[in-house]
Every structure is written in C-alpha cells, then in structure tokens.
Amino acid sequence: MTPLDDVDRKLLALLEADGRRTFADLAGEVALSQPAVKRRVDRLVAVGVIIGFTAVVDRARLDRPLEAFCELRFQGTTSPEDMEALRRDLPEVEAVYVLAGDFDALCHLRVRDMAHLREVVARLRATTGVVGTKTLMVMSSVRGPR
C-alpha cells in the first residue's frame, strides 16, 4: 500500500475530474511548483496508483444508447479468467465483474436496441459454462467525479 498525503489525494481528485489538466493548473490548485507536481504524478504512476489516462466516451451519444447488466451463473468448474474473457470476446460487454454470491459474474452491457440486447444475451447464454442469466435494464445512471 502506497502512503498518500492530502496533496496526493487532491491531485488524484483533480485528475479524476479532468485528466487533461496541465501541471501548471494542478500546481495552482495544490500550492506547489509545476516540477513538484510532475514528480508527484510521476510517482503515482510509477507505483501503480494511477494506472492510465483515458478519454471517457458517452456511448449513449454513439452507437449503443441502451445499457443493461446481465448476471451470469456458471458451472462450478469455470475459472474467473474464463468469466473475464467475455469482455474480450463480446464488444458489447463494457466490463465483467467476478462476484461472490448468488451469481458468479456481472456483465455491464451497451447495446443499440432491445433486439440487439436479445442477441447479446443469447450469445452470453451460449457461452461455455453459463447455466443461468438474469438481465437488468438501466433506466438512468449518475457517473463522473464525485
């Protein structure tokens, strides 16, 4: 566990809100010099606290406006790696969460429409090891920095 001070936490919050902020802007927010901020950010990257910088795409404005979650139950011999492979194998799967509880995995899905959702759920059901599913439609969500 990497010890973080209040400045590190503030830098992380600022970068989570906008990963494109300049070191000069960050320095002004935390009352440090630009080189000091760069060193801190570089350290946070080096120790794995910051694992990347990315663009967050609003899929609803593109080709997949409907969002759903599909709970999956697998045969007892299915490995977590096989469950996680769904993310690689199906482009509609935004994320896979391996769970403890009634279901073994939770897939976050993005689809064009209900017909597309039916197709994706059918493909999930046909996946080796899947013995049960439950699909939940998202009506609304709140995302972004806290």
Residue 125 lies in a domain: yes
Is 38 a domain residue?
yes
The span from the CA of 51 to the CA of 124, in Å, is 29
Q: What is the mean pLDDT of residues 56-78?
A: 89
The three-state secondary structure class of 97 is strand
Contacts for 118 with CB less than 8 Å, ≥ 6 apart: none
**How many separate domains does the chain show?**
2
Please report the pLDDT score of residue 144 as a whole number.
66
Same domain, 76 and 34: no
Residues 33 and 75 in one domain: no
Q: For 76-126, how does the pLDDT look when each residue is reduced to its tens digit (9 = 90+)?
A: 889 999 899 999 989 999 999 999 989 999 999 999 999 999 999 999 999
Q: Rounded to two decimals, what is the model's pTM?
A: 0.76
In a domain, 126, yes or no: yes
Asked whether residue 42 falls in the same domain as residue 66, the answer is no
- pLDDT, position 117: 98
Tell which residue, 36, 55, 98, 109, has the closest CA to residue 73: 98
By residue range, what is the domain housing residue 79? 59-137
In degrees, rounded to 5, the angle at the alpha carbon of residue 31 between the alpha carbons of residues 41 and 44 is 15
Instruction: Kindly state whether residue 77 falls inside one of the protein's structural domains.
Output: yes
pLDDT of residue 60: 77
Q: Are 106 and 71 in contact (CB under 8 A)?
A: yes
| Domain assignment present for 116 | yes
Summarize pLDDT for 34-56 with one digit per residue, the tens: 999 999 999 999 999 999 988 88
pLDDT of residue 59: 78
On whether both 33 and 92 belong to a single domain, the answer is no
From 45, 114, 101, 113, select the one nearest 72 (Cα to Cα). 101
